[in-house]
């Protein structure tokens, strides 16, 4: 039958010249590193207090470690508070950016509408100009047709006058 808890294994360590066998569920090398750190701390305390017994050295080591733990907890709390302030500031800045983007989108949409309206006006102006130009061309074509007719009539009248003049000159 499988167990969900990892199997514990014995790890032999020495702390303050006394051997201990610990049961560890994690990496035995990590347990050995922690025990070596505790041993170094207790040896350091024993070196500063040569008359202290092992119980006093252990209590002083525990106090030292508890103080370090408390310092780390305070640092973690300060880091959390700093992180929370950063998150709040970044969230506020993100909201500002989102608002600016929304305003820019609205302005862009308005500019596009204005541009589309201006394009429609220009297209209408161009269509009116084309219609006016086409009407003017038709007027000029009519005037040209009339001018040709008049010129043709004048030419016939002039041809008749020239014939009369020639006849008169020949008849002399």
Domain-located, residue 172: no
Domain-located, residue 31: yes
What is the tally of structural domains in the chain?
1
Domain-located, residue 22: yes
Domain-located, residue 7: yes
pLDDT by residue for the chain (172 residues), tens only, comes to 555 667 899 999 999 999 999 999 989 999 999 999 999 999 999 999 989 999 999 999 999 999 999 999 999 999 999 999 999 999 999 999 999 999 999 999 999 999 999 999 999 999 999 999 899 888 888 888 888 777 777 777 777 777 777 777 777 5
Q: Which domain holds residue 47?
A: 1-52
Domain-located, residue 16: yes
Domain-located, residue 39: yes
Q: Which helix (H) or strand (E) holds 11?
A: strand 9-15
Nearest Cα to Cα of residue 45 among 63, 57, 59: 57
Domain-located, residue 10: yes
């Amino acid at each position: 039958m499988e167990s969900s808890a990892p199997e514990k294994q014995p790890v032999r360590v020495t702390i303050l010249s006394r051997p201990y066998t610990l049961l560890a569920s994690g990496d035995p090398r990590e347990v050995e590193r922690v025990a070596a750190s505790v041993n170094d701390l207790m040896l350091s305390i024993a070196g500063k207090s040569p008359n202290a017994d092992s119980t006093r050295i252990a209590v002083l080591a525990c106090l030292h470690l508890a103080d370090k733990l408390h310092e780390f907890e305070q640092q973690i709390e300060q880091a959390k508070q700093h992180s929370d302030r950063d998150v709040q500031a970044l969230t506020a800045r993100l909201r500002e950016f989102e608002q600016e983007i929304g305003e820019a989108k609205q302005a862009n949409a308005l500019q596009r509408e204005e541009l589309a309206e201006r394009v429609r006006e220009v297209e209408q102006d161009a269509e009116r100009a084309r219609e006016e130009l086409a009407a003017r061309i038709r007027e000029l074509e009519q005037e040209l047709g009339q001018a040709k007719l008049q010129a043709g009539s004048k030419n016939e009248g002039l041809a008749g006058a020239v014939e009369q003049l020639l006849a008169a000159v020949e008849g002399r």
